[in-house]
Amino acid sequence: MHDITLYVNGIPREVSVPARRLLSDCLRHDLGLTGTHVGCEHGVCGACTVLLDGEPVRSCLTFAVTVAGREITTVEGLATDGRPSPVQRAFAECHGLQCGFCTPGFLCTTTAFLRENPAPTEEEVLEGISGNLCRCTGYQNIIKSVHRAAELLAEEPT
Amino acid sequence: MSIATGQVQGVGQSLLRPDGTLKVTGEFAYSSDLWLDGMLWGATLRSPHPSAWIRSIDVGPALAMPGVFAVLTHQDVPGVKFYGLEHKDQPVLAIDQVRYQGEPVALVAADHPETARRAADAIVVGYELREAVTDPRQAAFDPACPQVNPHGNVVRHQPVRVGDRFTADVVVTAEYEVGMQDQAFLGPESGLAVPAEDGGVDLYVATQWLHVDQDQVAPCLGLPKEKVRLTLAGVGGAFGAREDLSMQIHASMLALRTGKPIKIVYGREESFFGHVHRHPAWMRYEHGATADGMLVYVRAEIVLDGGAYTSSSPAVVGNAASLGVGPYEVDNVWIDAYGTYTNNPPCGAMRGFGAVQACFAYESQMDRLAEACGLSPVEIRIRNAVSQGSRLATGQVVDTPAPLAGMLRELAAMPLPGPGSTDLRALPGGVAQTTHGEGVRRGIGYGVGIKNICFSEGFDDYSTARVRVELLGGEPHVLVHTAAAEVGQGLIMVKSQIARTELGIDRVTIVPADTTVGSAGSSSASRQSYVTGGAVKAACEAVRERLDKLRAGGASLAEVLAAGPVEETREYRHRPTFPMDPVTGQGDSHTQLALCVHRAVVDVDVELGLVKVVELAAVQDVGRIMNPLALEGQIHGGTAQGLGLALMEEIQVRDGKVLNPSFTDYLIPTILDMPPMRLSILENPDPHAPYGLRGAGEPPTLSSTPAIAAAVRNATGLALARVPIRPDDIALAGSALAG
């Protein structure tokens, strides 16, 4: 077992895990953060995407011990003082989800994407979030949600 | 949230999802997220063979492992050892033989999921392999074929016989195939079974129909139904795959045996073996028409492979037969639809349910006929389109609006997308393209689909709603309680909107679905807005009637409610339906029919066999729009699943074994595969349905597949009689054409 500290959503979390414990399992089972979903367990669907020092990664392809000491943001950490982030609000407002299982992954991916590219074109949106699968929506309202999130972010006081 | 306040957000408005905030904050509890201290994890040992005798099972090595609490086989099933939706023919755990790869053989409970998995692998099963029956036509028609099921290898044969003229000036004949599609919901099967003090079990699961689960689980546990209580946990998509049981009985057995809560979560690979799929189909169609394209007759043979157990195959066969000619007027029909048993993976419900397979074939035939008659694909469909008053092949008269010809005209008049860009990302294959697009050809295709809404053929199809109005904090408040499964489709909004509309109160809470209220029927057959919507409406009306009486003297709502809540429960049934005649197929088998038409525009690289769908346009008649945003989401999503079937989705089965049980190898459309959509939604009300609405979830899944296939044919000139269309089907056949 390895005693490691993960900085999850700004809080240092100490956890003792075997070397092969996946970050997704560590978050869900050891830390009780079940907002990160596991859809395929091999890095295809993107439902388990979290931010590692701000960059989107597949938590199902990451061993927890390899990210010791790093900053991890999960869907539970996207809101500020209980207020959903602009990306979260946009997905709710634009009906960018149905069953919602893929949503946390899309939210993390989109959050990082819009930080890099705050005013993306249509093509850039498609490419930016093409690594996440959704089975319910046919993606049309997810595309709208990303554009709406960009608008809401632009309106946010800095 | 931007829900308007001070204004009732009722039927017809884009009310936002009440569960939307929880789903974007990560707080929404899916069945895989449930957790109780002290719970154990269940794992399932499954057969690696499609057909074998079981000569021995040694659970000793598994039981000896530290952390293992129980290992169970069929001998430990406390009650009836079989379950099933239509026939109880599926063993809870295999008894002396296995009939498909993935059939559950034994169960383990352990204190950690990895321990449970390892223990399951440590169980030693002595299999004696036997030949697997994997060709559905051989299974059905070859008397020498081994019997997979004790009742023979045909689940159901449904003929349709109308008229006696089977000659015509123009005849087109072809064979078609549809591959096995997976629902591929993103949230794998999972749930939590908690043993109760009364000897019963409380089950928290993601399902489509709580009461039919209860009906199947309780007898297998040897418990009365009231001791098996189900509550809907968060559902990560369904699309038919949760209509059959998966882990429900297994987790309950382990919970009752160990006295501890049991959690079971399938991984993606196990999920491919843990639920039924869309029936693969082989179909032979012959269409006869006059020289000017008027249908004279249709003959069809449809074989649907149901795999090892019955599931819902009989109803799937009924749909394929009754809707087998599509929404076209034709006086002479000779259809034989069969469902078969084989040792292939079991097949059952998936969005479109038997209508999808036939739709691909009859629409492909309409295009062949158009070509033979020198007509456009749109024109031949318009000439033969059903309308209100038309008689279907079953003799059922379409007695509500069915403006198919007008829908096709509207679709054809929609603007077309501009020419393809030379940007590599816009080419078929995207950045994986290896050429500069020299071989890219554009094609346009049309597809039409007709889907029955609600359960058919005499099924007692109903839903129950309990509605209560009370004062909370001095304000009138509505509680709506049904057992209807919210699987992502947005029923939770529709129920809320109906309550607001009927009662004029905008504080509405949807009580979690469970079995303490009567059955709502299944979240399938596009039926919940209709049937549960109808039940909520009826219960609200009953509450309103009582409130009106109480207020007759001029009292305010608050004054009346101060004396106590007002609550009513109502069941709602749609118009009765009738079985198809077993010989002629005649009968008013459906209560409502819904139409959707699609136009697909594709770019095909004929040298590489790559397809890019450039645009999908659709016209759908929904009777009444209940929630525009949610409705559009249903049409988008249904269309995307049809795109998947047309171009990429297939469970590949060889000798009864699944070759691609992962998302690496089973491909579902990504955002780059799904093109922009152009929608026109019509509202021609069905006077028999609440608010005039038509079920909307399935029809777009029917028509998008044939439209895309037709567009690829139009671009390549190839016959392409099988979906999904693979790159090889184009590139290898198309090399002459491209040269």
Sheet harboring B508-511: ordered strands across? B508-511, B475-481, B462-472, B566-573
Find out whether B405 and B378 touch, Cβ atoms under 8 Å. no
Which residue in chain A is spatially nearest to B627 when comparing CA positions?
Answer: A95
User: Which pLDDT score, from 0 to 100, does residue B734 have?
Assistant: 55
Residue B1 — very low, low, confident or very high, per pLDDT cuts 50/70/90? very low
Which domains, ranges and CATH numbers included, belong to chain B? Answer: 20-28+462-573 (3.30.365.10), 34-130+186-237+242-274 (3.90.1170.50), 281-455+581-737 (3.30.365.10)
Alpha helices (H) along B374-462: 377-384, 404-413
Tally C-beta pairs within 8 A across A and B.
176
The answer, for A76 touching chain B at a CB cutoff of 8 Å, is: yes
**Which residue of B2, B22, B186, B265 is the best one to mutate when testing the A interface, meaning the one whose CB has the most A CBs within 10 A?**
B186
Q: Could you tell me which chain B residue has the CA closest to the CA of A40?
A: B268
Res B420: pLDDT: 80
Distance from CA of B352 to the nearest CA of A (A): 15
Q: How confident is the model over B96-133, as pLDDT tens digits? A: 999 999 999 999 999 999 999 999 999 999 999 999 99
Residues in chain B closer than 8 A to A59 (CB atoms): none
Nearest-CA distance B481 → chain A (Å): 20
From the centroid of its chain, how far is CA A48? 7
List C-alpha distances in Å: B347 to A128, B88, B192, B566, B645.
36, 15, 25, 45, 15
Q: Please, which residues 417-446 of chain B have a Cβ atom closer than 8 Å to chain A? A: 423, 425
Query: Topology of domain A86-155, per CATH?
Result: DNA polymerase; domain 1 (1.10.150)
User: Angle B645-B649-B650 (CA atoms, 0-180°, nearest 5)?
Assistant: 110
Q: Chain A closest CA to B18's CA: distance in Å?
A: 9
Residues of A in contact with B268 (CB under 8 A): 39-42
Q: A85, A101, A109, A146: which to substitute to probe chain B, counting the most B Cβ within 10 Å? A: A101
Residues 6 or more apart whose CB falls under 8 angstroms from that of A37 comprise A47, A48, A101, A102, A104, A105, B30, B32, B186, B187, B236
Residue count of chain A: 158
Q: Using one digit for the tens of pLDDT, what is the confidence trace for B472-513?
A: 999 999 999 999 999 999 999 999 999 999 999 999 999 999
Domain residue extents for chain A: 2-77, 86-155
The string of pLDDT tens digits covering residues A82-108 is: 999 999 999 999 999 999 999 999 999
Between CA B228 and CA B245 the distance in angstroms is: 14
Of B502, B537, B531, nearest to B519 by C-alpha is B531
The nearest alpha carbon in chain A to B679 belongs to: A140
Give the one of B28, B268, B640 whose C-beta lies nearest to A138's C-beta: B640
Picking from B14, B268, B636, the nearest residue to A39 by CB comes out as B268
Looking at beta carbons, which residues of chain B come within 8 Å of A79?
A: 25
Decide if the complex's ipTM is over 0.95.
yes
CB B241 within 8 A of CB B651: no
* Contact flag B633-A95 (C-beta cutoff 8 Å): yes
Asked if the domains A2-77 and A86-155 are classified in one and the same CATH topology, the answer is no
Model pLDDT for residues A23-69, shown as the tens digit of each residue: 999 999 999 999 999 999 999 999 999 999 999 999 999 999 999 99
Interface test with B, best of A22, A136, A144 (most B CBs within 10 A): A136
Mean pLDDT score, B229-252: 98
* Amino acid (one-letter) located at B711: A
Q: What global pTM score does this model have?
A: 0.97
Amino acid at B558: A
Q: Which residue in A28, A74, A130 is closest to B672 by CB distance?
A: A130
Q: What confidence category does residue B735 fall into, taking pLDDT thresholds of 50, 70 and 90?
A: low
B16 inside 8 A of chain A by CB:
yes
**How far apart, in whole angstroms, are the C-alpha atoms of residue B425 and residue A130?**
12
Class of domain A2-77: alpha beta
pLDDT in tens, B43-56: 999 999 999 999 99
Contact yes or no for A140 and B184 at CB 8 A: no
Query: What pLDDT, on a 0 to 100 scale, did the predictor assign at position B432?
Result: 78
Q: What is the pLDDT of residue B437?
A: 86
Interchain contact B268–A (C-beta under 8 A): yes
Answer yes or no: is pLDDT of B3 > 50.
no
Given a cut of 80, whether residue B523 has pLDDT beyond it is yes
| For range B607-627, the mean pLDDT | 97
Cβ–Cβ below 8 Å for B636 and A45: no
pLDDT tens per residue across span A118-149: 999 999 999 999 999 999 999 999 999 999 99
CB proximity A71 to B under 8 Å: no
- Residues of chain B contacting A41 with CB distance shorter than 8 Å: 267-268
- The full 3-state SS of B662-722, as one line of letters, equals CCCCCCCCCCCCCCCEEEEEECCCCCCCHHHCCCCCCHHHHHHHHHHHHHHHHHHCCCCCE
Predicted confidence (pLDDT) at residue B6 exceeds the cutoff of 80 = no
Question: B216: distance to nearest CA of chain A, Å?
Answer: 25
